[in-house]
Structure 1
Amino acid sequence: MPEIPPVADAATAAPTWSVVIPVHDCAGYLARALPEVLAQLGERDDAEVLVLDDASTDDPGGVVERLGRGRVRYLPNPGHLGAIGTFNRGVTLARGRLVHLLHGDDLVLPGFYAAFEAALADETVVAAVCRARDVDADDRPTHTTRSYRRGTGVWTDALASLVLSNRVRTPGIVVRRSAYEEVGGYRTDLPHAADWEMWTRLAAHGPVVFVDEVLACYRRHAGSDTSARVRTGANVRERVTAVGVVLSHVPERRRRPLGRRALLYAAVFASRTALQQARAGHVRTAARQLREALRCLRLVPGGGVPTAPATPSPDPVPTPG
């Protein structure tokens, strides 16, 4: 995975917050996201907001100019880097002690940054995670993630829980920049599971706090990459591959039992998706999800899939600019 270098001007006092907003053809959604971010952080002199444009064909720069109040930096990528390349560039450019990656089509809810700043007050905590609400293209709620502990505090079984499934919605996690420097950036060989692998890597590295509040919204819409992969069943196949990767972050004696549970969970996940698709009238998609569920079940008795190396060859980090 790529290295994340320390902030170049470390001698200068770092801001508390870096909100990094990757965008690709979602200028309309960006216009919904920016006002709440700025309402919470816009008057603070210890926060920066960066919009990284990954070769959009719409006009996110215009949205920043219109709504950014002079507090938002618009930074086009040097070419099309893709989601993971943009994540790594954003973390590298971020100067804040706390880094929030907020996809341009997602949202934060009131109180997000205050709650996370409190959750990360202990310098030993590497990251904090909150509950999130799934919303559709028109901001209508479709699902709310559950609590993984009662009340806000250290998520003691975070690693085991995250190995079973990606429990984190990306807008609902904040990572200490120094933790990124220590564990490295997002793996570019996992284009659809790099976030999941990162969360398990962080949980293996240090304490994670669970914020038992719904403070972020994760958008699911027909044009998203996730929706396209559901239609082909690729979402489940990639999930199986990811299980082999995240298992590398747990002690070897725990890998086989956790692998069985993770694959069983993947089969349940695919079956639930099939039911949802069938109810929506998407019969072919439902059939593909059921087929992938059966494939997962066939893998369960053996205890999972071969574990991938925890540390692949380093990838270059795009030059900040």
Structure 2
Amino acid sequence: MTPETNRRPIWSIMIPTYERSRYLSAAIESVLAQISEREFDRFQIEVVDNCSINKAIESIVSQYKGKVSFYCQPKTVDIYTNWNTCIERALGIYIHILHDDDIVGAGFYHRMEIGFNTNSAIGAACCRHQHIDEIGRRLKYISRLHRKKAGIIPNFIEKIAISSLFDPPAVTVKKEVYEKLGKFNSQMESSADHEMWIRIAVNYKVWFEPQVLAFYRVHNNTITSTVLSSGYNLVCARRVIKTFDRLLPSHLCWKLTKQALEECGKYGIKLAFRALSKGDLKTTFNQIREVLRSTHSLKVLSVILLVPWLAILAFLWRALRKIFVPIA
């Protein structure tokens, strides 16, 4: 129940954070912008701080007194345990774990709730999402369009097993789903969310909203950027794939394992190319090393040989644009 009423909230928007206050207000404001005064009893909004030294976090939350609550871990835990604390503290029927540097667009919760209400077998509702930069400008990347009209994603197990299709701000989950399937597995580390989406897809229907209603922020001060630099993203991805034999239906296991490992390789090559074109040799080497540990597919291995040449062409193209594109 919310502190102000005896009613259970419909939504729990849980915002995990640790030592980072720069984007927190934007995350909170993006949520509050969607809630009218008479609807606040339908929402629980809580910042779950991982025992930060940075006291600016609590100070920011205090500005929203009566609308946003604050919980601080008694001691610092790993990021996935903090996510699980969000689940434990959530009071609502539906849970949205919104990271402190991400935001949602107008209509997000309304559209997700419509999805959940269409079919009791739906365990998660998600939407198309876009990447933004440090100051909120929209980047080119927009996630895949799984269907043109809102509805249940067909054959979702076969899609989500091969690749993590959704960044966290785009996914909402019924609390009862977490209660049945368990919480995030910290052993999966940077692929903990992907492993969770697979578990959900195996056991429930997943609703998709084709509008872009969630925004994932790309910047250097993230765990993701560190993981990519070391190549550890592919290590964690392989851990998820090793769980397929117990997670997936037996008739799909072999096929999806092969496809997922090949997809790991393709993704690693894409990251290596991007890094090399920027002169980042460390990331390039680490990604290619993990690609070779992930798959021996001839299709993937042949592309590795093209990475240096493609990177050189990309570098030259950018240089030529600087020379010949007139300055406004």
Distance in 2 (alpha carbons) for counterparts of 1:110 and 1:242:
33
TM-fit CA distance, 1:260: 0.7
Q: Describe how 1:270-281 pairs up with structure 2 within 5 A.
A: 270-281=268-279
Residue by residue over 1:172-194, the C-alpha shift from the partner in whole angstroms, topping out at 9 and shown as x without a partner, is 00101111111111112222222
SS in 2 for 1:20: strand
Q: Describe how 1:82-121 pairs up with structure 2 within 5 A.
A: 82-121=78-117
Aligned pair partner of 2:44 in 41, 44, 48: 48
Q: Normalising by structure 2, what TM-score?
A: 0.84
**Structure 1 segments of 4 or more deviating over 6 A?**
none
Letter matched to residue 249 of structure 2: P
Equivalence for 1:267 = 265
TM-fit CA distance, 1:36: 1.5
Residue by residue over 1:190-213, the C-alpha shift from the partner in whole angstroms, topping out at 9 and shown as x without a partner, is 222221111111111111101111
SS in 2 for 1:52: strand
Equivalence for 1:316 = none
Letter matched to residue 181 of structure 1: E
- The 1:187/1:132 distance shift into structure 2, 3 A limit, reads same
- In the alignment, is residue 139 of structure 1 matched against residue 143 of structure 2? no
- The 1:146/1:286 distance shift into structure 2, 3 A limit, reads same
Equivalence for 2:15 = 21
Q: Is the 8 A contact 1:197 1:246 kept in 2?
A: no
Q: Is the 8 A contact 1:22 1:104 kept in 2?
A: yes
247-256 vs 31-40, which deviates more? 247-256
Q: Describe how 1:222-237 pairs up with structure 2 within 5 A.
A: 222-237=220-235
SS in 2 for 1:120: helix
Residue by residue over 1:84-139, the C-alpha shift from the partner in whole angstroms, topping out at 9 and shown as x without a partner, is 11111111111111110001111111111111111111332110111111122222
290-299 vs 56-65, which deviates more? 290-299
Letter matched to residue 14 of structure 1: R
Q: How large is the Cα RMSD of the aligned pairs?
A: 2.0
SS in 1 for 2:189: coil
Distance in 2 (alpha carbons) for counterparts of 1:206 and 1:300:
35
Q: Describe how 1:238-277 pairs up with structure 2 within 5 A.
A: 238-277=236-275
Q: Which runs of 5+ in 2 are unaligned?
A: 300-328
Q: Is the 8 A contact 1:264 1:300 kept in 2?
A: no
Distance in 1 (alpha carbons) for counterparts of 2:255 and 2:122:
28
What fraction of aligned residue pairs are identical, expressed as a percent? 27
Q: Normalising by structure 1, what TM-score?
A: 0.86
Letter matched to residue 84 of structure 2: N
- The 1:8/1:253 distance shift into structure 2, 3 A limit, reads farther
Aligned length: 292
Aligned pair partner of 1:168 in 166, 169, 187: 166
Larger Rg over CA atoms = 2
